[in-house]
Amino acid sequence: MMMPSHKVRILVATQPVDFRKGHDGLAAMVQSALKEDPFTGTVFVFRAKRADRLKILFWDGSGLVLTYKRLEETSFTWPVVRDGVMTHVGQVGDAQTVESGYESAKVCALNTLANLKAAVGSLDKIKRLVYVGGYVNAVAGFAESPAVINGASDLFIEVLGEAGRHARAAVAVAGLPKDSTVEIQVVAEIGA
């Protein structure tokens, strides 16, 4: 198998692609959608909708190389991206698992705590979390929303102790803005 022999930059497409696309189709997608040059040696990773197949495209100096991999016993899980970029996208039961959904809910909880701290100055001012509404972007018939939203609830209790205990709803929905995996809404009681 031909693979790059030097240190390379690896970019992972955040949305699944049409797996009928070959070298030219994926190179065109890299240029138009990712705004990248496919002829620089950067490695581009694409996945199928079911997350059971990968295509890897890179320039080896003399031509585009396209590698295909079928995952036999597992599915591909996207790496977590930070610094203002959504860390988890796609539906639980398709692009995401219950476990990665749980992690997504934890990220939502961390973002909520960061926003609360920015608004009131200190997490010590939070008297209690009154209510958490959790929404899970999931496939039809998905019944494990509470297991996903536990990621947020567990983190709130870990960080805030008893003040983090709350009433909660955990609901599966057919989609969320920007294809986010999880969204939470929080009502907090703030003290002096």
Residue 1 pLDDT grade (very low, low, confident, very high; cuts 50, 70, 90): very low
CATH of the domain at 179: 3.30.1330.40
- Residue 2 lies inside a defined structural domain of this protein: no
Q: In the chain, how many domains are there?
A: 2
Per-chain mean pLDDT for the chain? 84
One domain, residues 115 and 178: yes
**5 assigned to some structural domain:** no
Residue-range definition of the domain harbouring residue 155 = 98-190
SS3 120: helix
Model confidence over 57-97: pLDDT tens digits? 888 778 888 887 777 665 554 444 455 567 788 999 998 99
Same domain as 123, residue 62: no
CA–CA separation, 172 and 77 (whole Å): 20
Q: Is residue 76 part of a domain?
A: no
88 part of a folded domain: no
What region does 171 belong to: left with phi over 0, alpha with psi -120 to 50, or beta?
beta
Cβ contacts of 144 within 8 Å, gap of 6 or more: 92, 98
For the CA atoms of 23, 76, 17, 42, what is the dihedral angle to 10 degrees? Answer: -40
